[in-house]
Amino acid sequence: MPSVERIWTAPEGGAPMAASERVRAVEGGGLRGDRYCHGRGYYSPYDVCQVTLVDSGALETVRERYDIDLSDGRHRRNLVVDYDVVDLLDTRFSVGEAVFEGTRRRPPCARVEEVAGEDDLAEALGEERGGICADVVEGGEITVGDELEVVERLDDPDSLADAIRERRE
């Protein structure tokens, strides 16, 4: 079962990412202590992702192909998981006590190169390695090692019909 390998937050835009063993996801907000949850991110309020996720396999590819080690959080993503995060788009999924909806891709930009101090980082994180954005649908605690489980595919009409039926019962 896929799981959370690392948790990262930064108190404000440009601040170094800090690793945690546990964090609280805030419904409609993001991760407690993270820049975007508190409106202090570089792109606030115009291009906000409540929570960002990246595949650990993508980070390994960056290390192998570009010789850039991002194990210190310079990728600027909140949750590192051992799962192809692009498959979480248009999906409701749980991690620990929290429930998320994958909303869009989060391609890298020149800003990540500037903050990380790595030339070619935006290119290295390209080709679907940049991660995704997710909204917090239900808040709760997340801990390193928590399993990631797909709850519902939002782009599947049968899945949506089942969910609507269950809510009415």
Query: Domain range holding 8?
Result: 4-168
Reply yes or no on whether the pLDDT at 114 is more than 90. Answer: no
Residue 106's pLDDT band, with cuts at 50, 70 and 90, is confident
Return d(Cα 110, Cα 118) in angstroms, integer.
Answer: 10
Domain count, the chain: 1
Q: How far apart are CA 139 and CA 156, in angstroms?
A: 24
Contact between 75 and 112 under an 8 Å Cβ cutoff? The reply is: yes
- pTM for the whole thing? 0.84
The CATH number assigned to the domain holding 81 equals: 2.40.33.20
**122 pLDDT above the threshold of 90:** no
* pLDDT tens-digit readout, 55-76: 999 999 989 988 888 899 988 8
Are 5 and 148 in contact by the 8 Å Cβ rule? The answer is no
Cα–Cα nearest to 159, from 151, 147, 149 = 151
What is the average per-residue pLDDT within 29-35?
Answer: 92
